[in-house]
A = this chain, B = another copy of it.
Amino acid sequence: MFSLNPQSGIPLYRQLVDQVKLLVAGGQLKAGAPLPSVRELADKHAVNPMTISKAYSLLEAEGVLLRQRGKPMTVAAHNRQGPEAQILLAPLIHQLIQSARQLALGDDDIIQAVRQGLEQHHD
């Protein structure tokens, strides 16, 4: 469900925060759904529990997750009108386009590259 990449330069806890938001916005994590426990995620991704815990705490502070004592974290019920997909993807698309421009690629090249990527991801 989650994919953490220690090489990406982006802090692990932040990768997790972003991915939870995406899954909630995409409806794959529905209101009330429990998240994996801190320990479970930590084991699965070979990461320190505190790193997971930090991400969960930030998500609670943002109102995405709900903390109930002694129970697993759950997706908050009233997550205020999830932002549009477009908005969540915008930074990534922006960065992709910027990088492609620096590579002197044209619009068609970019679309083409994305299409190729999509094909490879159909494995």
The interface of chain A, by Cβ under 8 A from chain B, is 3, 6, 8-11, 14, 18-19, 22-23, 25-28, 48, 61, 69-70, 85-86, 88-105, 107, 109-111, 113-118, 121
Contact = CB atoms under 8 A, between A and B. Distances in A.
Contacts of A10: 9-10
14 contacts: A6-B69, A9-B14, A22-B102, A22-B103, A26-B102, A48-B70, A85-B103, A86-B116, A88-B99, A93-B96, A93-B117, A94-B117, A96-B114, A114-B114
A7 to B, nearest CB: 9
Contacts of A86: 113, 116
State the oligomeric state as a number of copies. 4
